[in-house]
């Protein structure tokens, strides 16, 4: 099944903020070392205080932080009723951004997608880019425009509904942060930030049935035209970073 088209009826611009666990909580999880200042040897000798989910591991040479992300498989509610755990690797070229101001560049969002029956985790691995952009949106109430898109119906899940563009949010993540998108969270494809020619690589884990409309639902954003002139687009203001010049 092809993408669903959605017309943008207003000029929307949001400012990307630094990614934090608290800000991202409605959309999924942020995974990072919660105490980079603590060496495993300090914890094994009980000289450091760590969260309740931390235990000493590997004969004292590691700290294990348990349950750092919620992994969910909801394919029991899908039309096919089945799924396999899959892992892939994405090698993402840095996106070209347009100048916006002395402090910000601009990224135009042209596509959003969601995985209604599964979480999806993006974990960066060593590569040449250092930052990436995370763009998410909640869902509108169900309508006739999305009745062809299957989605699980349960408390705490978005269910059906196209993306709520006016409630879109954007975050800048570093290569020390992984993200898990919750089931049904509308999000942009991964946007690596960096100098031309750099890449950011991700190991991606999720569940999948192989049925396209169950695994990934895509909405293409079609620019409208405002009465006062100019196209209606969804744009993200991205802070410039010296890291992209290194």
**Which pTM does this prediction carry?**
0.93
Sequence-ordered list of residues with C-beta below 8 angstroms from that of 39, at least 6 positions apart, any chain = none
Q: Give the pLDDT mean for 130-146.
A: 96
Report the length, in residues, of the chain: 246
Alpha-carbon span 243 to 194, nearest angstrom: 8
Sequence-ordered list of residues with C-beta below 8 angstroms from that of 67, at least 6 positions apart, any chain = 53
Confidence of residue 47 (pLDDT cuts 50, 70, 90): low
Q: Give the pLDDT mean for 44-70.
A: 86
Residue 23 three-state SS: helix
Domains defined along the chain, listed by start: 4-32+71-242 (2.60.120.480)
Tokens coding 100? 């916006």
Q: Give the pLDDT mean for 230-244.
A: 83
List, as one string, the DSSP characters of 135-191: EEE-BPPP-GGGTTS-----TTS--S--B-GGG-EEEEEETT-EEEEPTT-EEPPPE
In the predicted structure, residue 1 carries a pLDDT above the cut 60: no
Confidence of residue 50 (pLDDT cuts 50, 70, 90): confident
Please give the pLDDT value at position 156.
85
Query: What percent of the chain lies above the pLDDT cut of 70?
Result: 93
CB 189 within 8 A of CB 35: no
In the predicted structure, residue 173 carries a pLDDT above the cut 60: yes
In the predicted structure, residue 49 carries a pLDDT above the cut 70: yes
- Residue 22: its H or E element: helix 21-24
Q: Give the pLDDT mean for 58-81.
A: 95
Residue 246 three-state SS: coil
In the predicted structure, residue 246 carries a pLDDT above the cut 50: no
Q: Give the pLDDT mean for 153-175.
A: 94
């Amino acid at each position: 099944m092809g993408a669903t088209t959605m017309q943008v009826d207003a000029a929307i611009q949001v400012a990307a903020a630094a990614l934090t666990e608290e800000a991202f909580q409605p959309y999924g999880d942020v995974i990072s070392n919660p105490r980079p200042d603590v060496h495993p040897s300090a914890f094994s000798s009980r000289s450091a205080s760590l969260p309740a989910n931390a235990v000493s591991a590997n004969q004292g040479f590691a700290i294990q932080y348990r349950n750092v992300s919620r992994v969910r498989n909801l394919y029991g509610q899908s039309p096919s009723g089945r799924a396999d755990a899959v892992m892939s690797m994405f090698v993402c070229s840095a996106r070209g951004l347009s100048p916006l101001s002395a402090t910000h560049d601009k990224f135009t969002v042209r596509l959003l997608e969601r995985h209604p029956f599964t979480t999806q985790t993006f974990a960066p691995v060593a590569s040449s880019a250092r930052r990436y952009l995370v763009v998410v949106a909640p869902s509108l109430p169900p309508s006739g425009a999305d009745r062809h898109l299957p989605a699980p119906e349960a408390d705490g899940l978005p269910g059906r509904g196209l993306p709520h563009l006016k409630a879109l949010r954007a975050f800048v993540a570093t290569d020390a942060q992984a993200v898990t998108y919750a089931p049904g969270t509308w999000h942009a494809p991964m946007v690596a930030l960096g100098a031309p020619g750099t890449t950011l690589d991700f190991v991606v884990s999720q569940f999948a049935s192989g049925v396209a409309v169950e695994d990934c639902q895509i909405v293409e954003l079609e620019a409208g035209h405002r009465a006062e002139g100019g196209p209606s687009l969804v744009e993200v203001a991205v802070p410039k970073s010296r890291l992209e010049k290194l």
